[in-house]
Amino acid sequence: MRADDVDLPLAPLPSGRHGLPREEVVRSQRIRLLRAAVEVAGAEGYAGMTVSAVIARASVSRKTFYELYADREDCFVAAYDFVIERGLRQLGAALTDDAPWSARMRDGLEWALAALAAHPCEARVAFVEVYAAGPRALERRDRFAGQLALLVAEGAAAAPAGVTVPSSTPRAVVGALSELIGMRIRHGLVERLPDLLPDLLYCALAPFLGPVGAIEAAAGGLRSLAAGGRGG
């Protein structure tokens, strides 16, 4: 089942004899529970993401819930995985493979901030509630950070000649960006995430290009964005 499936409608399955294959019924129930988990955790926090709240939102029975997930932690981890898988898939589509690294970072951050601002429940699940959901969720979060660090690590090739960037730098950059994003979400300012683009872009570029190089690259990229916006 693909992460894109969580965009399917939440309409209940037909009652009674409907003739749907068993696999279609299970698939629909799973999608509904995942979406409900994201919506409840995003609105009420992981502490408020009870099994009762999830099945009520999903219009799925408690028996069905426990046929699919061991407990609420298991359901949250599955929902987190779907949110992240979908995000990484769409992030990859937003990047231009042959663009300079600094431009790829700018495009990726611009897309991510806009997407998070437009999906506040997913944003809270991915950057806030994952820390409350136990060790399995944190293991998934670390794996996600490692995937993002691969994109950041491409900056080593853009560093000035003779400069060696420590191998831990990409993970440190991802950690810093995640904290700045998470702090704004925790403060209820998710709609203002796109305003962070200049700060986050500088944080991402400076360890590789140096302060001056980061300012120049960021300023050039942001000027291009502004010019494009005026032209539209």
Band of pLDDT at residue 221, cut at 50, 70 and 90: low
Band of pLDDT at residue 230, cut at 50, 70 and 90: very low
Does residue 143 belong to any structural domain of this protein? yes
Last residue of one domain, picked from the residues 38, 71, 104: 71
Full domain range(s) for residue 20: 3-71
User: How many separate domains does the chain show?
Assistant: 2
Is the same domain home to 102 and 65? no
Is the same domain home to 63 and 104? no
Is the same domain home to 40 and 115? no
Could you report the per-residue pLDDT of 32-61, keeping only the tens digit for each?
A: 999 999 999 999 999 999 999 999 999 999
Whether the per-residue pLDDT at 105 is higher than 90: the answer is yes
Band of pLDDT at residue 203, cut at 50, 70 and 90: very high
Q: Dihedrals φ, ψ of 77, to 5°?
A: -60, -40
Q: What is the DSSP string of 76-105?
A: HHHHHHHHHHHHHHHHHHHS-TTS-HHHHH
* CATH code at position 25: 1.10.10
Amino acid at 140: R
pLDDT at position 227:
54
Does residue 66 belong to any structural domain of this protein? yes
Does residue 76 belong to any structural domain of this protein? no
Is the same domain home to 58 and 111? no
Does residue 87 belong to any structural domain of this protein? no
As a whole number, mean pLDDT of residues 151-178 equals 92
Is the same domain home to 177 and 210? yes
How far, CA to CA in Å, does 205 sit from each of 170, 171, 208? 10, 13, 6
Structure tokens at 37: 């988990």
Whether the per-residue pLDDT at 143 is higher than 90: the answer is yes
Does residue 211 belong to any structural domain of this protein? yes
Is the same domain home to 12 and 125? no
Is the same domain home to 44 and 137? no
Is the same domain home to 107 and 67? no
